[in-house]
C-alpha cells in the first residue's frame, strides 16, 4: 500500500507539473511531441489530433514533455515556426515557469478545498512539561492551551508545530500566548539557541520539553507485526497486559516504558484474554536509535480509542475566505521551503533533514492511512516543494533554463553553447550530490 500511494502521489504531481509546461507550450504555438508520465519505454500510449503522443512509462519517478527542438534533431522547414528554439525568449521563460506555477496552483486549490470542507485538529493543550526544559523555564504549565505563537493564532497542535518550525536552527525569543486552565490569558517567551540545529528529524514540540495531553489508554494490544517478538511469544490482538514481572501495568505508556527498558531480557507477562488470565514469556528485540541508545522492541501496536469531541476542533471557511487561506498557506510554504534550504546551506539546520523517494513513499502511505484530508494535505505540501526546487537557478532544472533565457533577453543573444554545456555539467553534479545525500538519509532512517 505504501508503494501504491507513492505511485499515486508522484503520478498526480508529475501530471500537474508537466501539464503546466504542456498547456503554455500549446498556447505559444510549440508542437509537443510527447507527454510522458514515468520514464522508460511506454507501456501504453495514444496520439491526439495534434500528433502529440501521451504515454505511461514503467519508472514512476517523474515525467517529461518533449517539444519540437532544433537542438535535438533536424526540424522540417514547414515546422520551424512550431519549434521551441524559434520562440521568443519570453515565451520560453513562460513555458519553463509553467510547471512550477502549476504545482503552486494545485497547492492553492487543494488547501482551498480543505479549508472549505473543514479541517479538524487536536486542541493544543499541554499535558506535561519536562523539568528544566525551555518550556519549563518560560513558565508553561500542564493544562495550558497554546492559543498563539509569534502573534499567529493556533487552534491545533499541527498549527503550533508549523509556527515553531520557522525558528529551527535560530537564536530567538519565541513569543507565546497561552490560556490557563482557569481561563486567564498570559504571554510567555521561549528562549532558544541554535534550536535543534543538529537534530536529524526535529520535533519542535518535544524539543521545547512539551508533551501534549494524552488519553488514559489501557495496555491493550492492537495490531501485531507478523515477524515481531510479541506474536512469536503468543500474544494476540485484544490482549490486555496486566503485569510485567509482577509489576502492575498502569496504562499503555507504562507498558511501552517497561518494554523499551528491557532489550533482550525475558519478561514474564500476565495478560487478560477473553476474560481469562494467561501467563506468557516475552523477550523484546534490541533496537538501536540514531543517538546510539538501545531499546526493547516487540512489534505490537496499541488499540487506540477515539478522542473525546472536546479534544478536537473543526473549522470551516467560506468560499472566498478559503481561497485567501489557501493562498496564504501556499505562500507560507514557499517561504518556509526557501528559508529551510538557506538554513541548510548556512549550517543552521542539519542536511539529514533532506529526504528522497523512500521517505516520500513512507509519508505518502502514512498520510493516506490518516484519511483523505491528510493525503490531500501531503500532496499540496509535496507539490509546493517540487515547484520551489524546480525554480532554483540550477541548470537541468526549470530555474536554470529560465536563467539562460533571461540572460538572452538582457543581452539580446543566446548564452554561448559551451557555457550552457559547462553549466549543465555542474548542475548535473550538484543534483547527483543532492540525490545521493537524500538517498543516504532515506536508507539511514530505515
Gap between the Cα atoms of 237 and 303, Å rounded: 8
Residue in the block written with cell 533577453: 409
What is the phi/psi pair of residue 354, to 5°? -65, 140
- DSSP characters over 92-113: HHHHHHHHHHHHHHHHHHHHHH
How far from the centroid of its chain's Cα atoms is residue 323's Cα?
Answer: 22
Which residues partner with 59 through β-bridges? 39
Q: Euclidean distance between the first and final Cα of the chain, in Å?
A: 17
Angle 372-391/2-27 helices, nearest 10 degrees? 50
Please say whether the beta carbons of 401 and 71 come within 8 A: no
Gap between the Cα atoms of 11 and 379, Å rounded: 11
If we measure between CA atoms, which residue out of 222, 196, 197 comes closest to residue 209? 196
Q: Choose, from 18, 185, 272, 339, the residue flagged as catalytic.
A: 18
Known catalytic residue: 18? yes
Which residues partner with 271 through β-bridges? 241, 278
Long-range pairs for 102-105 at CB < 8 Å and ≥24 separation? 102/16, 102/17, 102/19, 102/20, 102/21, 102/23, 102/387, 103/13, 103/16, 103/17, 103/20, 103/383, 103/384, 103/386, 103/387, 103/390, 104/330, 104/334, 104/383, 104/384, 104/387, 105/20
**Residue numbers annotated as active site:** 18
Amino acid at each position: 500500500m505504501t508503494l501504491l500511494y507513492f505511485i499515486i502521489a508522484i503520478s498526480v504531481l508529475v501530471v500537474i507539473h508537466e501539464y503546466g509546461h504542456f498547456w503554455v507550450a500549446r498556447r505559444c504555438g510549440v508542437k509537443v511531441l510527447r507527454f510522458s508520465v514515468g520514464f522508460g519505454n511506454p507501456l501504453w500510449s495514444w496520439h491526439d489530433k495534434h500528433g502529440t503522443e501521451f504515454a505511461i512509462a514503467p519508472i514512476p519517478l517523474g515525467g517529461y514533455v518533449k517539444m519540437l527542438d532544433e537542438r535535438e534533431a533536424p526540424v522540417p522547414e514547414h515546422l520551424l515556426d512550431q519549434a521551441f528554439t524559434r520562440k521568443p525568449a519570453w515565451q520560453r521563460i513562460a513555458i519553463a515557469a509553467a510547471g512550477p506555477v502549476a504545482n503552486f496552483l494545485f497547492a492553492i486549490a487543494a488547501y482551498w478545498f480543505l479549508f472549505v470542507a473543514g479541517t479538524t485538529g487536536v486542541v493544543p493543550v499541554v499535558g506535561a512539561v519536562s523539568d528544566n526544559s525551555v518550556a519549563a523555564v518560560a513558565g508553561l504549565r500542564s493544562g495550558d492551551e497554546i492559543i498563539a505563537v509569534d502573534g499567529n493564532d493556533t487552534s491545533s497542535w499541527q498549527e503550533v508545530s508549523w509556527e515553531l518550525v520557522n525558528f529551527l536552527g535560530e537564536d530567538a525569543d519565541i513569543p507565546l500566548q497561552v490560556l490557563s486552565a482557569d481561563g486567564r490569558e498570559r504571554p510567555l517567551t521561549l528562549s532558544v539557541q541554535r534550536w535543534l540545529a543538529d537534530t536529524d528529524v526535529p520535533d519542535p514540540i518535544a524539543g521545547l520539553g512539551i508533551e501534549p495531553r494524552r488519553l488514559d489508554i489501557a495496555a491493550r494490544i492492537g495490531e501485531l507485526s507478523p515477524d515481531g517478538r510479541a506474536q512469536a511469544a503468543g500474544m494476540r490482538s485484544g490482549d490486555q497486559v496486566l503485569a510485567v514481572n509482577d509489576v502492575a501495568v498502569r496504562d499503555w505508556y507504562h507498558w511501552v516504558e517497561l518494554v523499551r527498558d528491557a532489550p533482550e531480557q525475558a519478561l514474564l507477562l500476565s495478560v487478560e484474554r477473553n476474560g481469562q488470565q494467561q501467563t506468557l514469556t516475552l523477550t523484546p528485540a534490541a533496537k538501536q536509535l540514531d543517538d546510539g541508545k538501545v531499546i526493547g522492541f516487540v512489534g505490537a501496536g496499541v488499540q487506540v480509542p477515539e478522542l473525546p469531541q472536546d479534544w478536537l476542533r473543526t473549522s470551516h471557511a467560506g468560499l472566498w475566505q478559503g481561497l485567501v487561506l489557501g493562498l496564504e498557506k501556499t505562500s507560507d510554504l514557499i517561504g518556509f521551503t526557501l528559508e529551510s534550504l538557506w538554513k541548510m546551506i548556512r549550517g543552521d539546520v542539519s542536511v539529514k533533514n533532506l529526504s528522497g523517494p523512500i521517505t516520500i513513499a513512507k509519508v505518502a502511505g502514512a498520510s493516506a492511512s490518516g484519511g483523505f484530508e491528510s493525503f490531500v494535505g501531503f500532496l499540496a505540501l509535496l507539490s509546493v516543494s517540487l515547484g520551489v526546487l524546480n525554480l532554483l537557478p540550477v541548470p537541468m532544472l526549470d530555474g536554470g533554463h529560465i536563467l539562460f533565457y533571461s540572460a538572452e533577453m538582457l543581452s539580446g543573444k543566446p548564452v554561448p553553447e559551451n557555457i550552457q554545456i559547462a553549466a549543465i555539467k555542474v548542475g548535473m553534479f550538484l543534483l547527483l550530490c543532492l540525490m545521493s545525500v537524500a538517498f543516504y538519509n532515506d536508507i539511514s532512517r530505515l
